[in-house]
Amino acid sequence: MAIINFGGVKEHVVTRTEFPLAKARQVLKHEVIAIIGYGVQGPAQALNLRDNGFQVIVGNRKGGKGWQRAIKDGFKPGKSLFDIDEAVRRGTVVQYLLSDAAQREMWPVVKKNLQPGAALYFSHGFSIAYKKQTGVIPPKNVDVILVAPKGSGLSVRRNFLSGAGINSSFAIEQDYTGHAKERCIALGIGIGSGFLFPTTFQREVFSDLTGERGVLMGCLAGVMEAQYATLRKHGHSPSEAFNETVEELTQSLIRLVDENGMDWMYANCSATAQRGALDWKPKFRKAVTPVFEDLYKRVATGKETVRVISSCGRKDYQQQLGKELATIRNSEMWQAGAAVRTLRPKEKARAITKDTKGVAGRKDN
């Protein structure tokens, strides 16, 4: 492993230099990788592995959306596309990529068909970290490993096609064969990870649930709505409020942060913007820290898990989700966003379509 200094703290990470794709292919040359679930992470990881030369099959409910999508992506029923039980039996690596609620529901089928010595692979620590609530307790005769890409399935595929890769964490929960770590890292490289950093199933799920509910999605959306509403309340037009709240962030400033960090972004903005940001940053931090502490406590105690299992496991969940997302989509703020997107330069739109050929327009579900 390479030793990298992260903000003064040295960490061991795995890079493509020390563990190249050729080595991953050698490690997994006799493996049959069964992708169980073809909704969010499944398509991206399956296609990336297949494109990298690994033997991949898909297991999904016959006739469902995932089944049809897998056929469109070139997987052949009876040859590389099977019902879940059959795919698990055939796999020497079983990548369990169903939703957390579906993993709980399908676990008896998966457990019954796991072969001794197989690697049971997760991309989220949820089912194992909260095993008392999920009932997902692997048998002792399999490896239990995790590779968790730090991005959606769409980003995993898009970054793979661009050659950038996406960073992933990895963990070993159970090493039955004595080769669990080697298999795990090889799979991480195979799906196109830029680099891999070690974690545990518990740390992965605690940080992931906090991040999704916090800065990455929940907090971000909530803060955007609050600023947009404030600007509109004080007489600013929808286009002005949206541009100052969302468009400038996503199309300009966040890209500067991506290039060289927050301080570099500040240094490349006006003096007025610099001063205001530096003065107000501590106020926002003080205001939201108690919310994050409450959030982390709920994650660590399993209260968020109870919410996920009880809500996402309902038969009408997709219908309810559609209503909640429609409320966001039909709000004035995001209707303004839709209008703004139509006004972006066409050259840029073509570039995005070209970069994501094969995955553009897909919806993670």
pLDDT tens for each residue of 198-231: 999 999 999 999 999 999 999 999 999 999 999 9
pLDDT tens string 110-132: 999 999 999 999 999 999 999 99
Residue 70 has pLDDT above 60, yes or no: yes
- Residue 11's pLDDT band, with cuts at 50, 70 and 90, is confident
Residue 359 has pLDDT above 70, yes or no: no
Look up residue 303 and give its two tokens. Answer: 């209260």
- Residue 347's pLDDT band, with cuts at 50, 70 and 90, is low
CA distance 126 to 42: 16
Output the pLDDT for position 6. 81
Catalytic residue from among 12, 124, 234, 236 = 124
Output the pLDDT for position 9. 84
CA distances for 263 relative to 219, 255, 276, 289, angstroms: 22, 13, 14, 21
Mean pLDDT over residues 230-246, rounded? 96
% of the chain residues with pLDDT over 70: 95
CA distance 33 to 187: 9
Output the pLDDT for position 32. 98
CA distances for 245 relative to 39, 236, 284, angstroms: 31, 12, 16
Residue 358 has pLDDT above 60, yes or no: no
Cβ atoms of 231 and 245 closer than 8 Å: yes
| Catalytic site includes residue 30 | no
